[in-house]
């Protein structure tokens, strides 16, 4: 009798344990199945899409500098200019937000053009202008109140003879555009949007 009672209790506890495990697995599956929150900003849906195109082209420029590839840097800077021009054109019809972003976009455009104009196969001079692009990009994204975009602001204290400089990334892993392979992992995440 005692044996049967023990076996019955063991089976009951095992069933409860399995049920709890299944409930935990179901809860985890539900959490994993939930889509990430949508990217939001002060802009309407089309404006936010335009803004994210600018961000994507900025990442292309950053990655070209990480690779220390002058030709890819020029192509990426040109692509960034194209997306900035497209966003500027879109914002001309947005009376509520248009004027707010124009000066930042113009500065990004001018600095990107300076990157292209630098005849520098080492990308060192191009990186100087990239700092201005990075600072204006972050200001633009803050002014747009960008949320849920997975944008990470990163900082290297050793850039430009220990003056320090920021850049943006779509990942937390540090890939330093100011030093490239010389000091690829120098830096830290300081903010996120």
In the predicted model, what is the mean pLDDT of the chain? Answer: 85
* Residue from 141, 193, 191 nearest 166 by CA: 191
Tens-digit pLDDT profile for residues 111-139: 999 999 999 899 999 999 999 999 999 99
Rounded average pLDDT over 59-71:
97
Model pTM?
A: 0.81
Instruction: Please answer whether residues 156 and 186 qualify as being in contact, where contact means their C-beta atoms are separated by less than 8 angstroms.
Output: yes
Task: State residue 35's pLDDT score.
Answer: 57
Rounded average pLDDT over 30-45:
74
The total number of residues shown for the chain amounts to 193
pLDDT band for position 7 (50/70/90)? Answer: very low
Q: Is 100 exposed, middle or buried (0-12, 13-18, 19+ CB in 10 A)?
A: middle
Task: State residue 26's pLDDT score.
Answer: 41
Task: State residue 19's pLDDT score.
Answer: 40
């Amino acid at each position: 009798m005692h044996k049967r009672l023990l076996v019955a209790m063991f089976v009951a506890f095992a069933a409860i344990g399995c049920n709890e495990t299944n409930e935990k697995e179901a809860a985890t599956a539900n959490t994993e199945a939930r889509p990430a929150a949508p990217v939001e900003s002060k802009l309407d849906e089309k404006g936010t899409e335009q803004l994210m195109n600018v961000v994507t082209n900025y990442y292309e420029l950053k990655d070209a500098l990480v690779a220390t590839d002058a030709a890819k840097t020029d192509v990426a800077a040109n692509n960034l200019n194209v997306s900035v021009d497209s966003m500027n054109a879109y914002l001309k019809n947005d009376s509520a937000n248009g004027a707010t972003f124009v000066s930042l976009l113009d500065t990004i455009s001018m600095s990107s053009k300076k990157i292209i104009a630098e005849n520098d196969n080492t990308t060192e001079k191009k990186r100087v202008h990239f700092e201005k692009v990075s600072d204006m990009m972050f200001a633009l994204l803050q002014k747009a109140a960008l949320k849920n975009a997975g944008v990470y602001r990163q900082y290297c204290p050793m850039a430009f003879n220990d003056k320090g400089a920021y850049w943006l990334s779509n990942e937390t892993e540090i890939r330093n555009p100011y030093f490239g392979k010389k000091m690829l992992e120098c830096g830290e995440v300081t903010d996120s949007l």
